Amino acid sequence: MSAWTVDRIPDQTGRSVVVTGASSGLGAITARELARKGARVVLAVRSPDKGEAVAREIRGAVPGAQLEVRELDLSSLASVRAFASAYTSATPALDLLVNNAGIMQTPARRTADGHELQLGTNHLGHFALTGLLLEALSQGSAPRVVTLSSTEHKGGHLHFDDLQLERGYAPRRAYQQSKMANTVFGLELDRRLRAAGSPILSVLAHPGYSATQLQSTGPTGLAALVLRIGNAVVAQPAERGALPQLYAATAPGVRGGQFFGPSGFQEMRGSVTEVQAVPEAHDPDIGQRLWTVSEALTGVTFPLPVPAGRS
């Protein structure tokens, strides 16, 4: 695995793919490399104009790339529902969903549905999208769901007594909680898919410390300055940061519940390797609790059984 590069991505001809947040950074790179290998890729983006610009760039690099740009605002559950409805109406099967989009360390704001913005966008939007596309995924060929986490999940905690952080909002605290939620979701989804005997794999990945627009579009003040310096001095290029999610999405032999990231110091950069989430993320009771509250907050339920041994 240490020498894994995009050249080793298997042929993706005939596979249908949705990549969220594909208008820049890791999402754009992921869309490009999957299209290069023959996949039909939907760029699910908040700004269709930016998505079309990226699609033109990809077509310039990959003649004949099969791309479609569709609007998706993960901070709006209405937008998530509209996207999923339009996709499933046009395409009965989905082979790969890459839950890549995210925002980081924003000032205190709310989604269109009243949820804390980072939790609502990074976790609740993807939770709802995955649930609404689950039937299409079940019709896919060797289907996978790849959910993007972060090393920041290690400092995170799910504050179930104040999930919206109304009593203690801080940009990084909210981001860490949202990334813990992504990680718990990916692992709990794996447990539920296994319990159902589903062919769908739920896999996690994180990019380490990679230089993308994420660090410059969310944080403000001193945090923005520190991250800008980090991008220049510490971060690895986004092209390398995208490798763990591309590996999770395409490599033969990947198993549900695995987590991939960089191999270097503190998983900040390096070759693709399997990494481990912190113990809290693996706790089935926490997975159950997050699942229940996420269904309540989104109104989306998954047609999957509760794993044996739970009430």
Element (H, E) at 69: strand 66-71
d(CA 218, CA 208): 18
Residues in the chain: 311
Neighbour tally for 279: CB within 10 Å: 8
The residues that are catalytic are 175
Give all strands (DSSP E) within 190-233, no chain letters: 201-205, 210-211
DSSP β-bridge partners for residue 43: 19, 69
Q: Which residue has the tokens 């504050």?
A: 159
Any residues with CB less than 8 A from the CB of 167 and at least 6 apart, and which? none
Helix (H, G, I), strand (E, B) or coil at 243: helix
Copy the structure tokens of residue 244.
């763990």
d(CA 266, CA 74): 30
Instruction: Give 263-268 contacts, CB < 8 A, sequence gap 24+.
Output: 263/2, 264/208, 266/151, 267/151, 267/206, 267/208, 268/151, 268/208, 268/209, 268/234, 268/235, 268/236
